[in-house]
Structure 1
Amino acid sequence: MNSYDVSPEFTDLVGRLRQAPFRADTTSVPELRANFEKFAASFYDPPAVEFVADNANGVDVEWARTPGCDRSRVVLYLHGGGYSIGSIVAYRDFCARISAGSGSSVLSVGYRLAPENRFPAALDDAVTAYRWLLSTGVSADRIVVAGDSAGGGMTVAAMVALRDAGDALPAGAVCISPLADLAHTGRTVHEKAHADPIVTPEGSHTYGVRYLGEDGDLSNPLASPLYADLHSLPPVLIQCGTAEVLLDDSLRLARKIRDAGGGVDLDVWPEMIHIFPFFASKIPESQRALRYLTAFIEHTFDRHAGRVHTSAPATAAPS
């Protein structure tokens, strides 16, 4: 795929997003939530799947299990939405596709949202869900933590919190378009503003303030993991597109993990937009990215089971 070879479906998606952008700085939280749920529902066309509600020590969670998946392998999924919008329901299609592609169970976390529940409520819920999963008998090396946007940043923050508390860390992690710097110091925050049909600098800043409060520290390392000490983390896949306001969050996060001695697969797709794998029910590029993502998850589990000995997913990365 080159910079001019995007699918008609992707072009139509971008046009649709430009007509009705998610402007957090000019739209009320209830309206943003309702708009996102409606938007996500338009991409709901999952493979055969069973959804089962559960409770993780007070945190609402939901299992997505496709036929034949390995129930002992679990992807703990943290949805995106700037810590203020998004839900288990909105991410059902995507979680079902992760289950089908990776052959794993997916546990989607309905963490508390801001501004009603500010930092560290969402992070606390993610950590609680992970620890609950361990308490059910799932071993840490049978868990991959994954998330997109705010959930991608929270994936890293949760691993930092767990590491510092002495908990066993998961086998690996997946960050899709991670929001890793709520202070928004990345150069692409403004350089890519014209290209990104989902995230605006002003809107993303508004989400950060809603999460941390007017006087909150936007560079708190457990809210903005780019400022955290990232040593001793498991292998991480970071997926992003070049048409993202938050592109530099991904690039800097990958660099910082590598500088700390960690393993990172940085998978950058030309012309793609924020959280583009989420649209896999309709967009060819998203489907290819999801295949790469699920191959990374499957490989991570197999590596811990002693079945493979290399560090690259079985699926070739995009060119």
Structure 2
Amino acid sequence: MSQDQRAAARSMMTKRDPDRTPAQERADFDAIFADRPLGDDVTLTPRTLGGRPALDVQVKGADGDAVILYLHGGGYVVGSARTGANLAAPLARRTGLPAVSLEYRLAPEHPFPAAVDDALAAYKELLGSGRPIVLVGDSAGGGAALATLIAARREGLPLPVAAVFFSPWVDLTLSGESMDARGDLDPLFSRAHMAAYAEHYLAGHDPRDELASPLLADLTGLPPLLIQVGSAEVLLDDSLRLAVRAAQHDVDVSLDVVAGAPHVYPLMAGVMDEADEALDRTAHFLTLRLTVGGVA
């Protein structure tokens, strides 16, 4: 990827006022992401999963035996099953697997632990189908995905074959060094933005709760993880520390860091070479894990 591509990707993003209301945040987010073209080979079918709205994301020819459960990002305040489809669809296309994008409840109307409760309920329903599951999430959805793994383990449930996190937000205590050190470089967020999201979601709850900040949890026994993050984001240290902690707890973990790439850079497929490469690497990782698990 050229430096020009990296700069172009960052220039497409804008830091907005961190004091905007959730309604303003949602309108802006949907204007950017809710109607992005997914391709003529993609069909979205509304359904209910775990008592919540969801979208079956079906790419023509993607009829593998396993299923992708996708959790969208948005600071636990914005986003939807439709915005999650922007990454679920290309992953379905590359892996040959159907995907389901969940519309979990959002803060501040539904604070912690609503998002994790909804994701766990959806995961339990998918378990009932008997199909192998891979869990994928971006940003806050990545944090919710990791918390869902911990909650599922707590209940003694079978865990997914693998999990993938794009720029996951896994520490709501905001203790990572990059929260300040990368603030000027990050084209989207600063500490103030993340603090506002955390306040909406936590509603006074202790951010050190392992389901709010799953970075702080015991990760022993979790399935293989793939983490992808850019260096131009305040959440860089969430990914770096998560990879180290997973390794310390004897979890298979792979970490991709792209210098100069912004938050959830795989969304920039077609603009950044590394975004397309990231999705290809994710598909390879998932296919390999399913093959090792005897699914593919």
Normalising to structure 2: TM-score of the pair?
0.95
Q: Which aligned pairs between 1:136-215 and structure 2 lie closer than 5 A?
A: 136-138=129-131, 142-213=132-203, 215=204
- Measure the CA separation in 1 of the matches of 2:211 and 2:221: 16
- Residues 54 and 232 from structure 1, CA distance in 2 versus in 1: closer, same or farther, beyond 3 angstroms? same
Q: Mean Cα displacement is larger for which, 296-305 or 156-165?
A: 296-305
- Measure the CA separation in 2 of the matches of 1:261 and 1:93: 32
Which residue number in structure 2 is paired with residue 245 of structure 1?
A: 234
Query: Displacement, 1:92?
Result: 2.3
Secondary structure of the structure 2 residue equivalent to 1:104: coil
* Preserved CA contact (<8 Å) 1:46 1:94: no
- Measure the CA separation in 1 of the matches of 2:267 and 2:182: 20
- Measure the CA separation in 2 of the matches of 1:104 and 1:130: 16
| 1:15 and 2:11 aligned | yes
Query: Displacement, 1:295?
Result: 1.4
* Preserved CA contact (<8 Å) 2:71 2:84: no
| 1:60 and 2:53 aligned | yes
Equivalent in 224, 227, 230 of residue 219 of structure 2:
230
Which residue number in structure 2 is paired with residue 265 of structure 1?
A: 254
Which residue number in structure 2 is paired with residue 310 of structure 1?
A: none
Query: Displacement, 1:6?
Result: 2.8
- Measure the CA separation in 1 of the matches of 2:105 and 2:84: 15
- Measure the CA separation in 1 of the matches of 2:7 and 2:34: 19
AA at the equivalent of 2:149: M
- Residues 100-119 of structure 1 show CA distances to partners (whole Å, capped at 9, x for unaligned) of 01111111010000000011
| 1:112 and 2:105 aligned | yes
Structure 2: gaps of 5 or more residues:
none
Which residue number in structure 1 is paired with residue 80 of structure 2?
A: 87
Q: Mean Cα displacement is larger for which, 118-127 or 48-57?
A: 48-57
- Residues 141-197 of structure 1 show CA distances to partners (whole Å, capped at 9, x for unaligned) of x21101000011111110011001000000000011010101110111100001111
Equivalent in 44, 49, 52 of residue 51 of structure 1:
44
- Residues 43 and 11 from structure 1, CA distance in 2 versus in 1: closer, same or farther, beyond 3 angstroms? farther
Q: CA RMSD in A?
A: 1.6
Structure 1: gaps of 5 or more residues:
308-319
| 1:28 and 2:21 aligned | yes
Query: Displacement, 1:45?
Result: 4.1
* Preserved CA contact (<8 Å) 1:43 1:281: no
